[in-house]
Amino acid sequence: MGTATGIIKALNSGVKHLAVKRFTLRYPEQKLKFVGDGYQFDPTTGVGIAGYKGRHMLFHDKCTGCQLCAIACEGVAEAIGMVKVQEEWKHNKKAIMPQIDYGKCVFCGLCVDACPFYALYMTNDYELSSFTKEALIYTPAQLQVKPYVQQDAEIIFDARGATHG
Amino acid sequence: MATQLPPGLQLEKLDERIMTLNVGPQHPGSGHMRLIIKVDGDYIVSCDPDPGYVHRGEEKMAEYRNYIQNIPHLERPVIHDSCNILYPYCLGVEELLGLEVPERAQYLRVIASELNRCVYIQYWLAIYGIFLGHSTMFMWPAGDRELLIDLLEKITGARVTHAYFVPGGIRNDVPANFEDMCLKRVNYFEKRIKEYAAIFYDNPILISRTRGAGVLSREDAIRLGTTGSTLRASGVDFDLRKKEPYDAYGELDVHSDVLKDGDSYARSKIPWLDMFESCNIIRQALQKMPKSGSVRVKLKPNPKGGNDEVYKRVESGRGSLGCYIVSRSKPEPYRVKLSVGSFRNLICMPYLLKGEKLGNMPAVYWSLNYWPVEADR
């Protein structure tokens, strides 16, 4: 192939893309769709359930304060600390529950794997930025709230290429 | 006698014609490392790579954490190839603990690691493109990579640091309509990477820039111990997926491409050809994979290995990646050593850059498929 034809072919390949749809996700307006409600773990079978590893969700009616999540996190990020809670539960005599520092968390999900009581799951919430370090520390009361996550865009394929809808 | 200063800091009396250039460690063209280059006019007289700026002590950290807790931090050296860097560690721990991986998990591991290889190569290709001033080749791979990242996110739950492989299988099974989703994306991805030929690989401007730059002969490639795409671009057919098949690779038909030139162009073409092969492997694995079944062996808490040691290696995006684990009957490994492809390819940099023009430095440097963070561990 000659130099001139090669350059014309390269230019032509670029020009063809004027007709191809734009692939970019327009982020704050559009947000990606996820599968499921987030990463979960089934301790009876020892296998997880596929989902996004975002902010945690703590079920106060199941947490026994056994600290297994904090022990699992010890060698990874040391993001989980056990704190006193005001609630009184029969299954949680010590009244301690995990508090998670998202300034340290690496979102590996090993704490979810460690929980034998189905008390700790992960959700699709990924917008956790804040102006202060203190606001990144989520107390058990904050972890109890189920987040609302906007999910509207998905990659679609058609004759003119892939787009985010 | 004066104390010996490290290289690059010595006050050397040089020939008046020779000038020392420090490329890096902040320079975007060198990654997190420094190249001490001596130039005579426009020609490089000698090159002394100085890695170690992003050393994190991963191997030492591994001695204080148990076999499961090691997973998230061992994938940090190459976060966009995280399945492949965990692969040899998981294979090693499985042999130490005597675990049998379920068949479905073996195939899903192959699929995840091949997807991850494509993600890595696309990222590498984007940087190789922008190094050579080809900004279209930065935008296209960076965009197409998103297809597979999105797929991996749906499987593993994270965009880059997946922490998906564990000793004994994988963390979770794939979502419901995974096979259709994967096939659709891989087919579209293959169609897209074919389009790179006209604009990049067959482009006469790129060919004149990279052909003949930094030629590594077959003998030198073997003698210097290079691996991966650098070795295969010099005409040595060595691919661990084929030579020492691990997991489900033994049942799949793997064909890896070999080029004879050994120059920067050949080294940059091999990873691109590898992506087509990865697409083939994924399609084969999707066909042969058992449709249901267990994906993970149940582990005891804090599993202990015996008094044993094990060495396992896999083919990563940058070549052979080995992991040597010594166990002393404790929940923590006694020693974990990573033998990475990046560091082995770094060694031939002084040989390749000698006598090259300074302008060819980026073309040779990044074609070596070198990742600074992985080399430093």
DSSP annotation string for A143-154: HTSPPP----B-
Does A120 fall in a domain?
A: yes
Q: Give the mean pLDDT of B253-272.
A: 89
- Is B154 part of a structural domain of the chain? yes
CATH code of the domain covering residue A57: 3.30.70.3270
Q: Does any CB of chain A come closer than 8 Å to the CB of residue B79?
A: no
How far is Cα A163 from Cα B349, in angstroms, rounded to an integer? 41
DSSP-derived letter for residue A93 is T
How many CB atoms within 10 Å of residue A26? Answer: 10
- Name the closest residue on chain B to residue A16, using Cα atoms: B195
Is B64 within 8 Å of A6 when comparing Cβ atoms?
no
Residue B197 burial (10 A CB sphere; 0-12, 13-18, 19+):
middle
- CB pair distance less than 8 Å for B171 and A51: no
The answer to whether position A52 is within a domain reads yes
Chain B positions in Cβ-Cβ contact with residue A32 (cut-off 8 Å):
150
Is B17 within the bounds of a domain? no
Structural domain boundaries, residue B168: 58-376
Would you call B172 and A106 a contact, using CB atoms and an 8 Å cutoff? Answer: no
pLDDT for the residue numbered B33: 83
CA-nearest residue to B68 within chain A is A110
Is A50 a domain residue? yes
For residues B105, B108, B112 and B117, what is the CA-based torsion angle, rounded to 10 degrees? 100
Structural domain tally of chain B? 1
Q: Which of A47, A107, A109 sits opposite B173 (nearest CB)?
A: A47
Residue of A nearest to B149 (CA): A155
Residue B6 lies in a domain: no
Q: Does B163 touch chain A (CB under 8 A)?
A: yes
Q: Does pLDDT of B311 surpass 90?
A: yes
Residue A164 predicted with pLDDT over 70: yes
pLDDT at B11: 53
Quote the pLDDT of residue B13: 57
Which of A12, A50, A76 shows the shortest C-beta gap to B172? A50
Whether residue A84 lies inside any domain: the answer is yes
**For A37-41, A158-162, B109-113, which range has the lowest pLDDT when averaged over its residues?**
A158-162
Pick from A70-84, A99-113, B11-25, B263-277: least confident: B11-25
Residue of A nearest to B141 (CA): A23
pLDDT for res B5: 64
The number of folded domains in chain A is 1
pLDDT band at residue B3 using 50, 70 and 90 as cut-offs? low
Average pLDDT, integer, range B235-242? 88
pLDDT tens per residue across span B188-208? 999 889 888 888 888 888 888
* A101 located within any domain: yes
With a CB cutoff of 8 Å and minimum separation 6, the contacts of B257 are B232, B270, B273, B274, B277
* Cross-chain residue pair A110–B161, CB shorter than 8 Å: no
pLDDT digits (tens, 9 = 90+) for B88-132: 999 999 998 888 889 989 999 999 999 999 999 999 999 888 888
Q: Could you tell me the pLDDT band of residue A35, with boundaries at 50, 70 and 90? A: confident
User: Does A107 contact B161 at a Cβ distance shorter than 8 Å?
Assistant: yes
Read off the pLDDT of residues A76-131 as tens digits, 9 standing for 90 and up: 888 898 888 888 888 888 888 899 999 999 998 889 988 888 889 999 888 888 89
Q: What is the pLDDT of residue A131?
A: 92
**Beta-ladder partners of B187:** none
- Check residue B116 and give its pLDDT: 92
Question: Quick one: what percent of chain A has pLDDT higher than 90?
Answer: 7
Closest residue, chain B, to A109 (C-alpha): B163
- pLDDT of B14: 60
Q: B300: pLDDT confidence band, cut at 50, 70 and 90?
A: confident
User: The complex's ipTM?
Assistant: 0.88
Percent share of chain B, pLDDT over 90: 14
Taking CB atoms within 8 Å and a gap of at least 24, the contacts of B330-333 are: B330/B304, B331/B66, B331/B67, B331/B302, B331/B303, B331/B304, B332/B63, B332/B64, B332/B65, B332/B66, B332/B67, B333/B62, B333/B63, B333/B67, B333/B70, B333/B305
Give the rounded percent of residues in chain B with a pLDDT score beyond 70. 95
Domain span at residue A116 reads 41-147
Question: d(Cα A134, Cα A136) in Å, to the nearest integer?
Answer: 5
A148–B contact, CB cutoff 8 A: no
Selected residues 287-346 of chain B with any CB under 8 Å from a CB in chain A: 294-299
B141-156 pLDDT per residue, tens: 988 898 899 899 888 8
φ, ψ at A98 (rounded to 5°): -70, 145
What is the C-alpha to C-alpha distance for residues B305 and B327, in angstroms, rounded to an integer? Answer: 6
Contact A162 B202 (CB under 8 A): no
pLDDT at B89 (0 to 100): 92
**Secondary structure (3-state) at B205:** helix
Q: What is the pLDDT of residue B122?
A: 92
Give the pLDDT confidence score for residue B243 in this predicted structure.
Answer: 86
Q: Give the amino acid at B361.
A: M
Residue A146 CB neighbour total at 10 angstroms: 11
Q: Identify from B60, B193, B199, B330 which residue to disrupt to test chain A contact, counting A C-beta atoms within 10 A and taking the largest count.
A: B199
Cβ-Cβ contacts under 8 Å between A and B: the total is: 110
d(CA B85, CA B103): 21
Cβ separation B298–A46 shorter than 8 A: yes
User: Helix, strand or coil for residue B328?
Assistant: strand
Model pLDDT for residues B278-293, shown as the tens digit of each residue: 999 999 999 988 888 8
Q: In CATH, what number is assigned to the domain containing residue B184?
A: 1.10.645.10
In a domain, B198, yes or no: yes
Residue B180 lies in a domain: yes
Is the distance from CB of B299 to CB of B168 less than 8 angstroms?
yes
**Residue that wins the pLDDT comparison between B24 and B346:** B346
* pLDDT averaged over every residue in chain A: 86
**pLDDT (0 to 100) of residue B22:** 82
| pLDDT of B80 higher than 80 | yes
CA-to-CA distance for B271 and B266, rounded, in angstroms? 9
pLDDT the model gives residue B29: 62
More confident residue, B374 or B15: B374
Residue A109 lies in a domain: yes
**What pLDDT score does B228 carry?**
86
- Does the pLDDT of residue A165 top 80, yes or no? no
3-state helix, strand, coil in chain B (%, to 5): 50, 15, 35
Contact B336, B63 (CB under 8 A): yes
Q: Is A28 on the interface with B (CB under 8 A)?
A: no
Give the mean pLDDT of chain B.
86
Look at residue A70 and tell me if it is in a domain: yes
Q: Is residue B23 part of a domain?
A: no
For residue A21, being part of any structural domain is answered with: no
Q: Residue B253 burial (CB < 10 Å; 0-12/13-18/19+)? A: exposed
